[in-house]
Chains A and B, each alone.
Chain A
Amino acid sequence: MNPIPDGGASMSLQDVTVEFDGQMALSNVSFDVEAGTLMGVVGPNGAGKSTLFNAIAGLLPVRRGKVTLHRVDQGRGALAYVPQRESVNWRFPVTVKDVAMMGRCCRLGWCRRPGKRDRELVDACLYRVGLWDHRSALMTELSGGQRQRVFVARALTQEASVLLLDEAFSGVDAGAQEGLVEVLQTVRNEGRIVLLATHDLTNLAGRFDQVLCLNRRVCACGPPDEVFTSEVMEQLYGAPGVRLAMAGEGSKSR
Chain B
Amino acid sequence: MIEFFVAPLEYGFMVRALIGSVLVGVMCPLVGAYVVTRNLAFMGDALAHAVLPGMVLGFIMGINPAIAAVPTGVTVAVLVRIVSRRAGFSTDTSIGILFAAMFALGLAMLSLSTTIRVDMEDLLLGQILAISPTDIYVSLGITILVILGLFGLHHWLLFASFDPVGSQVVGARANIVDYVLLVMLALVIVIGIQAAGVILVMAMLVTPAATAYLLVRRFVSMMVVAAVLGTAAAVTGLYISYHFNLPAGPAMTLVASGIFALAVSFRRRAPA
Contacts and interface: CB of A to CB of B under 8 A. Distances in A.
A and B held together in a complex: yes
Interface of A: 57-59, 75, 77, 79-83, 87-95, 98-99, 101-102, 104-106, 108, 110-111, 113-114, 138-140, 151, 154, 158, 164
Interface residues of B, number: 28
A101 B155 contact: yes
A83 B155 CA distance: 19
B165 A87 contact: yes
Contacts of A138: 217-218
Contact of A81 (B153, B154, B156, B169): B169
B228 to A, nearest CB: 17
29 contacts: A59-B168, A75-B171, A79-B170, A80-B169, A81-B165, A83-B163, A83-B166, A87-B165, A88-B162, A89-B38, A89-B162, A89-B164, A91-B39, A92-B38, A92-B219, A93-B219, A94-B162, A98-B158, A98-B162, A98-B219, A102-B159, A102-B162, A105-B159, A105-B167, A105-B173, A110-B152, A110-B153, A113-B154, A138-B218
Contacts of A91: 37, 39, 272
B166 A82 contact: yes
Contacts of A105: 155-156, 159, 167, 170-171, 173
Contacts of A139: 162
Contacts of A106: 170-171, 173
Contacts, number: 95
Contacts of A58: 169
Given A87-B164, A93-B222, 18 more contacts: A58-B169, A59-B169, A75-B171, A80-B169, A81-B166, A82-B166, A83-B165, A89-B37, A91-B39, A92-B158, A93-B37, A93-B217, A93-B219, A105-B171, A110-B173, A113-B154, A140-B272, A158-B170
A88 B163 contact: yes
Nearest to B37: A92
Contacts of A59: 165, 168-169
Interface in B101-136: none
Contacts of A80: 166, 169-170
A139 to B, nearest CB: 8
Interface in B131-165: 152-156, 158-159, 161-165
Contacts of B164: 87, 89
A193 B222 CA distance: 38
Which of A59, A108, A111, A139 has its CB near the most chain B CB atoms (within 10 A)?
A111
Nearest to B220: A98
Contacts of A75: 171
Contacts of B222: 93
Give the most central of A58, A91, A104, A140: most B CB within 10 Å: A91
Contacts of A111: 152-153
Contacts of B260: none
Contacts of B166: 80-83, 88, 102, 151, 154
